[in-house]
Amino acid sequence: MADFNDHITDKLKDFVEAQPVFFTATACAEGRINLSPKGMDSFRVLSPTLCGYLDVTGSGNETSAHIRNDGRITLMFNSFTRNALIYRIYGKGRVVRPHHPEYAELAPNFPELPGARQIILIEVESTQSSCGYGVPEMTMQAERQTLKKWAEKKGDDGIQAYQRENNTVSIDGLDAGLND
């Protein structure tokens, strides 16, 4: 049975911050739905009604484009341990880029990761917990180091060039706001 709240409870704050992987989903009225896995200890609960994650440079920038053009975002956290649980956070997203003044205030809440592109903030509208009995039990072996090594090898100038070439528009041609 699902349980709804209008905020992130203390108990579920501890749960989400302990998960090694979470998923983001965004969409606009037209075009593809984006669903992305995230990891790297990048998620933080900043208050009962505000959370976010440090987003690193990747092959696309769909989440940013969808937030800029629609705003809706859903996060999903699964327990892969013996204690089954699925937790969703529904809200409105906002993108904070490194050149925005607010970024300097928020950045200390997150790990320093090479290739950091932006912070995705979510103003919580509602949350839902459900059983998760259909999710398998699995164990965490290790964080992948590939993306960190790739970003370190590229360096700041290389990352910026990559972002200009690959992260300015979504698959559907929406402006990702990289220059906002």
- Count Cβ atoms below 10 Å from residue 89 Cβ, excluding itself: 25
Do 77 and 16 contact (CB within 8 A), yes or no? Answer: yes
Residue 95, amino acid: V
Residue 97, amino acid: R
Is 76 inside a domain boundary? yes
The mean of the pLDDT values for the chain is 96
Is 172 inside a domain boundary? no
Q: What is the pLDDT along the chain (180 residues), one digit of tens a residue?
A: 689 999 999 999 999 999 999 999 999 999 999 999 999 999 999 999 999 999 999 999 999 999 999 999 999 999 999 999 999 999 999 999 999 999 999 999 999 999 999 999 999 999 999 999 999 999 999 999 999 999 999 999 999 999 999 999 999 999 999 888
Is 137 inside a domain boundary? no
Model pTM score:
0.95
Instruction: Name the residue range of residue 95's domain.
Output: 3-132+143-166
> Per the structure block, which two tokens stand in for 15?
């749960």
Could you tell me the CATH number of the domain that includes residue 11?
Answer: 2.30.110.10
Contacts of 48 (CB under 8 A, 6+ apart): 7, 8, 9, 13, 124
> Per the structure block, which two tokens stand in for 116?
């950091």
Is 24 inside a domain boundary? yes
The domain tally of the chain equals 1
Is 174 inside a domain boundary? no
Is 90 inside a domain boundary? yes
Is 176 inside a domain boundary? no
Is 152 inside a domain boundary? yes
Q: How far is CA 86 from the centre of its chain?
A: 16
